[in-house]
Amino acid sequence: MCGRFSLVTDPNQLVLRFELDDMPFVWQTRYNIAPGQLIPAIIEDRGKRRIGHLRWGLIPTWAQDQKIGGKMINARAETLHEKPAFRRLLERKRCIIPADGFYEWKQTGRSKQPMRIMMKSGEPFAFAGLYDTWTSPDGEKVHTCIIITTSPNAVAATIHERMPVILRREDEQIWLNREMYDLKLLQSLMVPYEAEQMKAYAVPVSVGSPKNDGPECIQAITDPV
């Protein structure tokens, strides 16, 4: 599962890293992004990458009630192609979601210790995601997304049984190409990221509340594990 993540990277660096023409909105540094919030996401439109806001928590086009979005924050890579809610999106509505760390909670005795997992380099990376547009009864269009998860690598496995799909940089363009649908190829991308390039460290328990969204959320309280 992926239920929280961070994006504290400078917007100018994000523009360069993700090959964007510009940043069309003012991006606020976020230390503790939670489901239900608007998050930056990138799609490809007529050969160009565009970044915009999507609400985290998928509301499928056919949904009767937008409350379903609160339950659909993650989708399992292994069964995407089997479920009608995701199969159509996997074919044509793939996105990438920039991040520079994500949080999972490690069981330690009777309590759980929040851990931040990130690249050793500190560089931003891309979650594999799907998106859709839902129209409310009064005609409002709501654009939402979901983060895909897979089995954990060696770093994440010590903390949780799942981790988000992090795309290799060279695979991001394949994922974004809406004119291409090769199920076997896409499945080959939705695998655990190389553990050798990642690290994890303990952070304050205050990250457990989405109301807390300051620098203290990413402050190490122990040495990286």
Q: Catalogue the active-site residues.
A: 2, 104
Q: Which amino acid is at 120?
A: K
What are the residue ranges of helices labelled H in 4-115? Answer: 11-17, 84-92
181's tokens: 């649908």
**Nearest Cα to 148, choosing from 170, 123, 131?**
131
186's tokens: 């896409």
Cα 212 off chain centre by: 19
Give the three-state DSSP class for 103. Answer: strand
